[in-house]
Structure 1
Amino acid sequence: MTDTPARLLNLLSLLQTPREWPGSELAERLGVSARTIRRDVDRLRELGYPVEASMGAAGGYRLVAGAALPPLLLDDEEAVAIAVGLRAGAGHAIEGVEEASVRALAKLEQVLPSRLRRRVSVLQHATLPLTRGDGATVDPHTLTTIASAVTGRERLRFGYRAGDGTPSRRQVEPYRLVSTGHRWYLVAYDLEREDWRTFRVDRVDEPFATGARYTPRELPAEGPAQMLGQSLHRGRPELEVDVEFRAPAEWIAARLPRSFPAARETGEGVCRVRGPMADSVEWIALHLALTDRPFTIRSPEPLRAYAAALGERLSGAAAD
């Protein structure tokens, strides 16, 4: 194999298999000398790939973990598997990885050959996910289109359905995708209304990046997360939640969705979650229980009453 770039790619593809390759086997596979393999390994190291060599009769080469993640070569099956997994993570707003899933999916789908895109789409449509049924699922193509427009600073057009079902057409300068853990939102500047707006992504229809670039406007002082919070609370009854946990604040913060107020230490091994929430008492009570630590609901009364009734139902379900 005399084509050096092609040979390097083939060598890299072999080394990314989790095993140690004797130099003689690599040379035979690629049809070159052992000396050429050593030179090619040095080139890969210069490009940032951490190739480790071991000496002796049983020695060889293998790719190890380095300080940074170098570009990876994927075969067709691997690319399809990763794309389907990322679509699942992005489309169902899995908390903690949702935004990274969308960014990675946008990069991967940009370079997927059309034949692999079709395979990913067929597999996605043939799979029935088990979800909460809260209407928060989003078409991954919609997410990746919006994410690409955000990254490329391109104006975006789309149809939008308001909460009361009223349809409209929007042209916006997309700023950021935000996940609340159970829904996706787009924070953007609406050109027709000349103001910042938030849009539920599951209500966005046929987003289209126009190709027109824009210079990002200065955000309001509160930032996108607080803008979203204000938008969610506007026009909806708020609950002033006050819950005390017998657990460290760090433990509770890691187990509650980000829509909850911040957990504050109030003593050794005790913390408190206090602040306004616009979610339902059912949703709040469920997530409080899932922290797996003792807690006391101090307010509001509707949340206390619902938690008490839920506890009775669960205790009855567990009785002999």
Structure 2
Amino acid sequence: MPIAIGPTERQLNLLSTLLKARGPISWHDIARIDGYSDDETSIRSRQKRFERDMKALENTGLRVSRTTDGVRPSYEIDRGACLLPSLPMSPEQRLLMFRIGMSYLEHDDAGPFKKHLSSALLKLQAGAGSAGLPADLPRTFVKRSLNRRPAESNRLAVIGEALLERRRVTFQYEGQRRDGVDKRTVAPYALVSRRGGWYLVGYDTARKGVRTFRLSRIRGTVSLATPQMSAPEYDVPTDFDAEGSFSTEVFGRGDNAFKDVQIAFDAEVAFVVENEFAGIYKIEKRKDGSITLHLPQAYPGELLRYLGEFPGHWEVRKPTELREMVVKNLKAALKTLEGRAR
């Protein structure tokens, strides 16, 4: 009995054949690829399988041209479209990439990609040159870029596999207001990286709509909703836009959120904040290198968790109520610490 090949492996086999081919390939060539060569299955079923896989590859951004001799179609991949354009990076951005990659190696989280990641970091370091990686590094920046969440990488692996195979996942999720944990069943549409963390954008079956979930708020493990099934369970809508579906209100919104929030950051961490929020929120720059971040609205819990990553480098300018809340919380924390020290 032949071993069944999953859609991910099948699509990789197809992509490899298209890349290795010196010209257009026909169905006769495709029918010899593992995943389409099972003679027990009808030709039409295998062709439909191929058409689904071809569409999946094209949805990732690959371009495949189709030609015909009047009888049979042929397929050829656009190799130029497979190559990413040159990515210019500032020394700070290059350092950020390097430190994040190093944290994966140091915590042994790279898995089967460890060798490839080591090679990539070597190239990144060599490409930067001696002037590319600043000698004097902000302590906060280094600490923050190495602040890894081991559980998040495990959830990312499960959700990533489910996304590729179009399988629904289930997990326990804690909302922004921390008012309890709910079980969610979600059809993954996309994974988005923002603010050093990962977010799942998908269709929530209970709420009957597209929702965004921060992986760090998932409690426990992520599992397949129907592990006994192996076939794809859903299709991502053709008009789905991951960036458009992702909420731009990073710090939450609602009746209890503070409005017109202004946070000042000193020059030591300003470039980190700029890299995260440029184009999303208004950023006011000053000659000394410091900045003021303008937020239309923000929940205090969400905002203070973020600000906690930059101790001693920020100040709440507006609104007065939020500033007073921060001062009150800091005084309470200091009082607690003094009590423990006695």
Asked if Structure 1 and Structure 2 have the same fold, meaning a TM-score greater than 0.5 normalized by the shorter chain, the answer is no
TM-score, normalization by structure 2: 0.40
Rg larger in structure: 1
